């Protein structure tokens, strides 16, 4: 039976893998463990309630069709949900659900609310004795969901954030920890969640605070001997948003008091939203009991935006500011700055400022000058993607054709020229250049560079191509 189970699940995964992206497969299907097959019912083990809910919401049709194909038209699916639970030592529980059932699970362990008493609560932000309804949320109205551009790089985090905003404290994403590198939109998304909750649930108390400010307030509370007032204030918040929790690292007393606040809010069904530059497993200098609680909900990452997302971000910014830029300028910015949204928007602002101050029209040449002067060194390098775009535009070829396996002479020549300029103008390895050009190896890139050099010395027309392209690609 065990062999049959493994074979059936292997066959299911083979079908699933062909119908979802590689990232989705690794995230949502690789962690699943098949448990048993009995009387047409297959039981699979998933690592959390959130995991189950996500599968039911996004992949139930695929799962149902796949399982029915492998087992039979009357087959059913069971989930065995194994959750980490530090409050009790409860055993994993099994939920028997037909594959057509999409009803959400209820958490088997419901913590009782704690009574925080009826004494006046002091607000560490402004004036002692300030009422709950008067707490300033510290939210930036510009950081709304409407201004947040969704793409493959942030879809999971945004979807989870929107779910939290529509049902704070009532989803499996508690806490919701959003992590990612500098300038990828963590703070924007955290504010968006808070703003949406304030709009939908005006009676709820929402508070956004940076970890640094939280720490300073705690230090002041200790100095003034009113730590209990500080704790009670935070325990009354309905939605607490803490930005950059990695800065709690090494601050033992701050972690202790946050642990107390976290436990109370979580047990009373209040929502916690945290941001960090790293996932919980990589956070150094944090107490294990706190890291364990960070893992209770969902850790959603923000990745570097794709080209399409970068262009959409620039267009959104331009529309909001009432600006119109040439398409080639927008594309150049998007191709040149690939890893940081904040830097991308900053480059747009700098370009507009340069145009206004110097009374110059916004052109591609001005954009190239601005990139060189105002953007960090990491962004000055021309990207392989941009080189390919310029070469394809010059030869009037679709970029998909350049990356294909076709051996047509004009396509091969354009591909070799793109490889030549990528080696000349970027710090990328030969293997990386080859990967960008349709999965070629480093030897192919070396051959392309030699071919281009030889043709430039013997073919006047070809040399003209290179000179034209060099002008278009060079950063002035």
pLDDT in tens, 262-312: 999 998 999 999 999 888 888 888 888 888 888 888 888 888 888 888 888
pTM above 0.75, yes or no: no
Average pLDDT over residues 446-468: 89
Is the dihedral angle over the CA atoms 242, 246, 251, 253 positive or is it negative?
positive
> What is the per-residue pLDDT across 307-347, written as a single tens digit (0 to 9) for each?
888 888 888 888 777 777 888 888 888 887 877 788 788 88
pLDDT at 413 over 60: yes
> What is the per-residue pLDDT across 17-51, written as a single tens digit (0 to 9) for each?
888 887 778 778 888 988 888 888 888 888 777 67
| Domain ranges (residues) in the chain | 2-97, 132-302, 307-380, 384-473
Range 307-380 classified under CATH 1.10.8.60:
yes
Beta-carbon contacts of 196 under 8 Å, excluding residues fewer than 6 positions away, are: 144, 145, 162, 165, 166
CATH topology of domain 132-302: Rossmann fold (3.40.50)
> What is the per-residue pLDDT across 196-219, written as a single tens digit (0 to 9) for each?
999 999 889 999 999 999 999 999
Range 384-473 classified under CATH 1.10.1750.10:
yes
Is the dihedral angle over the CA atoms 105, 273, 139, 304 positive or is it negative?
negative
Within its chain, how far is the Cα of 206 from the centroid? 23
Name the DSSP class of 247: G
445 or 304: which leads in pLDDT: 445
Exposure b/e, 203-220, CB count within 10 A at least 16 = b? ebbbbbbbbeebbebbee
CATH topology of domain 2-97: GMP Synthetase; Chain A, domain 3 (3.30.300)
Range list of H helices, 296-408: 307-321, 327-336, 341-358, 364-374, 377-380, 384-395, 399-402
Q: What string of H, E and C letters represents the secondary structure of 40-53?
A: CEEEEEECCHHHHH
The residues facing 78 across adjacent strands are 43, 96
- The rounded distance, in Å, linking the Cα atoms of 468 and 476 is 14
> What is the per-residue pLDDT across 102-115, written as a single tens digit (0 to 9) for each?
333 333 333 323 23
The residues facing 275 across adjacent strands are 178
Band (pLDDT 50/70/90 cuts) for residue 97 is very low
- Determine contact, residues 366/354, Cβ cutoff 8 Å: yes
What pLDDT, on a 0 to 100 scale, did the predictor assign at position 6?
86
């Amino acid at each position: 039976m065990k062999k049959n189970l493994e074979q059936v699940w292997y066959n299911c995964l083979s079908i699933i893998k062909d119908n979802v992206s590689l990232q989705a497969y690794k995230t949502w299907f690789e962690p699943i463990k098949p448990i048993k097959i009995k009387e047409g019912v297959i039981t699979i083990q998933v690592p959390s309630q959130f995991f189950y809910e996500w599968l039911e919401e996004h992949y139930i049709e695929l799962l149902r069709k796949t399982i029915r194909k492998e087992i039979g038209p009357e087959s059913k699916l069971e989930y065995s949900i194994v959750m980490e639970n530090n409050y009790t030592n409860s055993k994993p529980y099994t939920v028997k659900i037909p594959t057509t059932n999409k009803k959400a699970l209820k958490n088997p362990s419901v913590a009782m609310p704690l009574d925080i008493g009826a004494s006046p609560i002091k607000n560490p932000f402004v004036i002692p004795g300030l009422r709950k309804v008067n707490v300033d949320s510290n939210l930036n109205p510009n950081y709304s969901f409407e201004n947040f551009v969704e793409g493959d790089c942030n879809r999971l985090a945004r979807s989870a954030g929107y779910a939290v905003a529509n049902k704070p404290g009532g989803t499996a994403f508690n806490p919701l920890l959003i992590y990612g590198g500098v300038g990828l939109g963590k703070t924007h998304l955290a504010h968006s969640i808070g703003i949406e909750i304030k709009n939908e649930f005006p009676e709820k108390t929402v508070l956004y605070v940076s970890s640094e400010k939280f720490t300073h307030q705690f230090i002041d509370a200790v100095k003034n001997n009113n730590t209990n007032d500080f704790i009670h204030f935070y325990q009354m918040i309905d939605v607490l948003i803490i930005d950059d929790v990695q800065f709690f690292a090494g601050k033992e007393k701050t972690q202790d008091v946050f642990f107390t606040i976290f436990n109370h809010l979580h047990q009373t069904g209040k929502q916690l939203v945290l941001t960090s530059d790293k996932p919980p497993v990589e956070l150094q200098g944090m107490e294990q009991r706190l890291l364990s609680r960070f893992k209770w909900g969902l850790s959603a990452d923000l990745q570097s935006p794709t080209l399409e997302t970068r262009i959409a971000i620039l267009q959104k910014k331009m529309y909001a500011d009432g600006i119109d830029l040439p398409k080639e300028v927008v594309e150049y910015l998007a191709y040149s700055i690939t890893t940081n949204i904040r830097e991308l928007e900053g480059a747009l602002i700098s370009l507009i400022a340069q145009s206004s101050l110097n009374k110059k029209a916004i052109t591609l040449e001005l954009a190239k000058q601005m990139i060189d002067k105002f953007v960090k060194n990491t962004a000055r390098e021309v990207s392989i993607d941009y080189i390919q775009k310029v070469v394809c535009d010059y030869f009037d070829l679709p970029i998909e054709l350049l990356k294909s396996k076709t051996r047509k002479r004009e396509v091969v020549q354009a591909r070799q020229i793109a490889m030549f300029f990528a080696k000349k103008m970027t710090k990328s390895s030969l293997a990386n250049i080859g990967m960008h050009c349709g999965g070629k190896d480093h030897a192919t890139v070396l051959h392309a560079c030699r071919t281009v050099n030889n043709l430039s010395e013997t073919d006047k027309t070809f040399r003209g191509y290179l000179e034209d392209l060099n002008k278009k690609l060079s950063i002035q």
